[in-house]
Structure formats: C-alpha cells, structure tokens
Amino acid sequence: MLKEKNAVITGARRGIGRATVECFAKYGANVWACARKPDEAFEQDMAELAREYGVWIKPVYFDLMDSAELTAAVKRILAEKLPVDVLVNNAGVPHGGTLFTTSAAKLQEVFAVNFFAQISLMQYFGKYMLRRKSGSIINIASVGGLEHEPGYLAYGSSKAALIWATRSCAKEMALHGVRVNGVAPGLVSTEMGAYRTQAELDKVLARTPAGRMGNPEEIAEAVAFLASGRASYITGEILSADGGRL
C-alpha cells in the first residue's frame, strides 16, 4: 500500500507514533522516525523493524519546542535528496486543566508542541511537496478537539486549532496535488491515553459503544490508509477513530 514511499513520522518512540512506523514499514514505506532525544534502545528497535520489513528507518532527533532544532532536522532530511512523500504529525503532549487552573505558561507550552510545531513542519515539508505536486500530510488530532468537555482547556484547544488548520491547508494545497487529512483518536491504550482516576476512565468508556480502548495499531492503520493512494480523493477529512464515542 505504501511501497517505496518515504515518510516523516514524529513522536515515533512509543504509542501511536511507534505503531505507525511499524505499520508503514509493513506496507513497504521507508521512514524518518523522529524523537526528542537520542536513545540506544529506540535505535535498536527501529533497526530491527527495518530488517524485519526490508525497508530503511532512520532516527532523527529534535525537540519540537526548539525551533532551531526543528529547522536543522528538516534541513538534514531534505539534504538527503530523497522524496518526502508523507508527513505524519503525531507528536503531542497531554494536559488536563480548567480555565482557572491552566497557567498562561502551560497553555503556551501545549500549543508550542501540539500546534505551532505541527504548523512549522507542514510549512517546511508542504512547500517541498507543492514543488513536486505530490504528497500527503496526516495530522494526529483528537476527539478532544471536536468535543467541548471541561477540564482539558489547553489540550482540547490545541487539537481544535490543529483540526481547523488541517481543513484550511487541505483547501490551499488540493489543486497542487497535496492532500492534508487528520485522524482524531478517541481513548487509546497509550501513556497519553491514561486517565488520572478509574472514574474518569469509566465515564469515557460508558460513552464508547465499542466498550473498550483502541489500540495504537488501529490508529496506525487509519493513518496508513489516508497516506496511501487508496485515499487519493480524500482531503480535508478528519477521520474519527474513537469506537463510536458519543
């Protein structure tokens, strides 16, 4: 499905990002697997996936909150003179807090990672894709950006902004052969999907007809579909992968 495609995937160390790297490799894609800090275990994991699926996977390290590091990482990738066919903006940070318990500093921190860094990567790689008149960008949003629940001001607002940007940028780039879509996961079994109390978890599960958490692999499959030629007529879509969450 993704044979000989080259993809940049952020937040590749664990959770949905790691599952997406493996899913893309399984379907034949090469990957620049982006993480914040160098890690021997991560590099070994990526090397094992590359051997298993017969592709190359190159770890790339940068902090999304450091614009200089982000820019340098993009330049390193583009300097390889290989086509960048897909960008998966997966990395993000969670935060729970109400209007009166969320500081301005925390709001800025969450937006820096969940929104501004994603936009920067879309600008860098999107400009490259426009020149090639081909490419697919998938932003990992959240049902938290579609719902209006109290207690997640910074996180929900940042994801809502990303959803708006996804739809807007899709319209900008559609005529130039670049598709921009989003996936909005519901409750997924990852570190970010962990709730503070069992009562909070039970409340969300009660609103989920599937009656369970999703798996990172299920989200990764949705991302792979949107990245592939099978979704060639889909752009500006926010695909909710949430077990039917009400």
At 166-176, the pLDDT tens digits run: 999 999 999 99
Asked if pLDDT for residue 11 goes beyond 90, the answer is yes
d(CA 188, CA 227): 21
pLDDT > 90: percent of the chain:
82
Beta carbons of 219 and 24 less than 8 angstroms apart: no
Indicate the DSSP class of residue 188. B
Axis-axis angle for helices 153-173, 117-132 (nearest 10): 10
d(CA 210, CA 227): 25
Report pLDDT digits (tens) over 196-232: 577 777 888 888 889 888 999 999 999 999 999 999 9
Tell me whether residue 201 is in a domain. yes
Tell me whether residue 13 is in a domain. yes
Tell me whether residue 41 is in a domain. yes
d(CA 99, CA 231): 39
Please give the structure tokens belonging to residue 45.
Answer: 């994991």
Asked if pLDDT for residue 192 goes beyond 70, the answer is no
Tell me whether residue 114 is in a domain. yes
Average pLDDT over residues 107-126: 97
Tell me whether residue 110 is in a domain. yes
- pLDDT attached to residue 199: 79
- pLDDT attached to residue 21: 98
How many Å is the Cα radius of gyration of the chain? 17
Q: Residue 100 maps to which CATH number?
A: 3.40.50.720
Average pLDDT over residues 123-152: 94
By annotation, the residues acting in catalysis are: 155
Tell me whether residue 171 is in a domain. yes
Beta carbons of 92 and 141 less than 8 angstroms apart: no
Number of domains, the chain = 1
- pLDDT attached to residue 245: 82
Tell me whether residue 1 is in a domain. no
Tell me whether residue 212 is in a domain. yes
d(CA 144, CA 138): 17
- pLDDT attached to residue 2: 96
Domain span at residue 87?
Answer: 6-240
- pLDDT attached to residue 202: 82
- pLDDT attached to residue 196: 57
Report pLDDT digits (tens) over 93-109: 988 899 999 999 999 99
Task: Categorize the per-residue pLDDT at 8 as very low, low, confident or very high, splitting at 50, 70 and 90.
Answer: very high
Asked if pLDDT for residue 151 goes beyond 90, the answer is no
